[in-house]
């Protein structure tokens, strides 16, 4: 029967060195794009962007339409494979009457991913050693203490795996968010007898 408090298992410091050579060969880059487009028809453009995502082996993350006619606005976010990111941006430009803004950003998450790999290896080694201690324990108090420590380690493992999966997903599937606005086609009418000031006000209202 173990005597005294259960000693946490040894953490292997050489894990990072073992992970680095094989992982550092390929960088993990998370890329995002943001565009604002003026289009002929907001709903049609939204649908075309959704079809583009599927055609590029991606998918729609979210989509929304609000307002009517000239006040209509659309928002759509898609994910496409990172290797098709630039091509997707080019095709989105072609959908627009005018591109009012476009921005892209990238973030290298390679070091974070390597650190997570090391932490996962350590946590799994810790889990294995707790299982050995649990198998050998005969005292109820020790069993409960070991089980509590084992549960904490397993929660940590799940959190690490979740973060790793998130980085894998976001680095392999780039996010593109698009704002859609209709092109202004209607011209303000000037009624007979209106003054120049009234005509100017009507023109301003039509633009806004």
pLDDT score at 68: 82
**What's the whole-number mean pLDDT along residues 128-153?**
92
What are 17's two structure tokens?
Answer: 């060195």
| pLDDT of 175 above 60 | yes
Distance between CA 166 and CA 112 in Å, rounded? 12
pLDDT score at 71: 82
**What's the whole-number mean pLDDT along residues 75-86?**
97
| pLDDT of 93 above 70 | yes
Calculate the CA 56 to chain-centre distance.
17
Domain edges within the chain: 1-208
Indicate the pTM of the whole model: 0.69
| pLDDT of 201 above 90 | no
Distance between CA 25 and CA 179 in Å, rounded? 37
Rg of the Cα trace of the chain? 29
Comparing CA positions, the residue from 150, 124, 132, 149 lying closest to residue 2 is 132
């Amino acid at each position: 029967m173990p005597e005294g408090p259960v000693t946490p298992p040894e953490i292997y410091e050489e894990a990072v060195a073992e992970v680095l050579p094989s992982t550092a060969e390929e960088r993990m880059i998370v890329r995002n794009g943001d565009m604002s487009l003026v289009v002929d028809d907001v709903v049609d453009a939204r649908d075309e962007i959704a079809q583009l995502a599927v055609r590029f082996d991606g998918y729609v993350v979210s989509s929304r339409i609000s307002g009517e006619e000239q006040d209509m606005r659309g928002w759509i976010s898609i994910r496409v494979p990172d290797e098709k990111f630039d091509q997707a941006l080019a095709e989105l430009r072609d959908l627009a009457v005018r591109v009012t803004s476009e921005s892209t950003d990238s973030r290298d998450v390679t070091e974070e991913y390597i650190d997570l790999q090391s932490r996962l290896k350590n946590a799994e080694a810790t889990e294995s050693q707790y299982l050995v201690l649990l198998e050998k324990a005969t005292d109820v108090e020790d069993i409960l203490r070991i089980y509590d420590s084992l549960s904490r380690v397993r929660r940590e493992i799940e959190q690490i795996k979740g973060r790793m999966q998130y980085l894998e997903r976001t680095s392999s599937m780039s996010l593109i968010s698009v704002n859609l606005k209709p092109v202004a086609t209607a011209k303000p009418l000037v009624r007979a007898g209106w003054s120049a000031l009234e005509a100017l006000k009507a023109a301003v209202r039509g633009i806004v």
